[in-house]
């Protein structure tokens, strides 16, 4: 029972079945869930959440990040039933976004994150890159080990790009 967790700043849950989260966790800054057998809907009211790590959980379908505007770091890995990550518009504090080793087929649009430095989309099922808005700080993009065939529009300031292990046909 996490009903008393509404005052926590850091919450790390490993190998535990979670029945539910409180609707509002206003003080939470860091949330890590590893090896979660059942992960209920995450609280929408986490206005101070800076770090979100979802590692080898039973998440399936889609997850949206748009409600957590204070996010600086997102690490989503090993979620074999997760098919999309959306809601990455207007995350102004985001520095690092890693969506790796999932079954993600769609990432949607990434814009409104002027501080984003690193985007790692390694080992998913992406057949196309996300739609990029203006990302002036983005320097590193890794989309290796996906299903990319065509890569057209990339952010202008990239210094390092990795598209290895993709069936690329065209770099436009």
Tokens of 144: 């290796």
Say if strands 109-111 and 88-89 run parallel, antiparallel, or are unpaired. Answer: parallel
Residue of 107, 115, 138, 143 whose CA lies nearest to 50:
115
pTM of the model: 0.91
3-state secondary structure 40-104: CCCCCECCCCCEEEEECCCCEEEEECCCCCCCCEEEEECCCEEEEEECEECCCCCCEEEEECCCC
Q: What is the pLDDT of residues 10-67, one digit of tens each?
A: 988 887 777 778 888 889 999 999 987 777 778 888 999 999 999 998 888 999 999 9
How far, CA to CA in Å, does 134 sit from each of 90, 110, 129, 143, 159? 11, 9, 15, 19, 15
Tokens of 29: 């800054």
């Amino acid at each position: 029972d996490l009903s008393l967790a509404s005052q926590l700043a850091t919450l790390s849950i490993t190998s535990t079945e979670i029945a539910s989260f409180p609707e509002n966790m206003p003080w939470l800054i860091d949330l890590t869930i590893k090896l979660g057998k059942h992960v209920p809907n995450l609280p929408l009211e986490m206005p101070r959440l800076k770090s979100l790590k979802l590692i080898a959980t039973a998440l399936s379908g889609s997850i949206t990040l748009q409600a957590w505007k204070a996010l600086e770091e997102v690490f989503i890995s090993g979620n074999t039933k997760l098919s999309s990550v959306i809601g990455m518009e207007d995350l102004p504090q985001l520095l690092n976004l890693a969506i790796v080793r999932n079954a993600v087929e769609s990432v949607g649009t990434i814009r409104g994150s002027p501080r984003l430095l690193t985007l790692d989309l390694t080992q998913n099922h992406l057949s196309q890159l996300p739609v990029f808005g203006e990302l002036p700080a983005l320097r590193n993009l890794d989309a290796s080990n996906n299903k990319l065939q065509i890569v057209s529009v990339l952010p202008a300031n990239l210094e390092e790009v990795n598209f290895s292990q993709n069936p690329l046909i065209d770099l436009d």
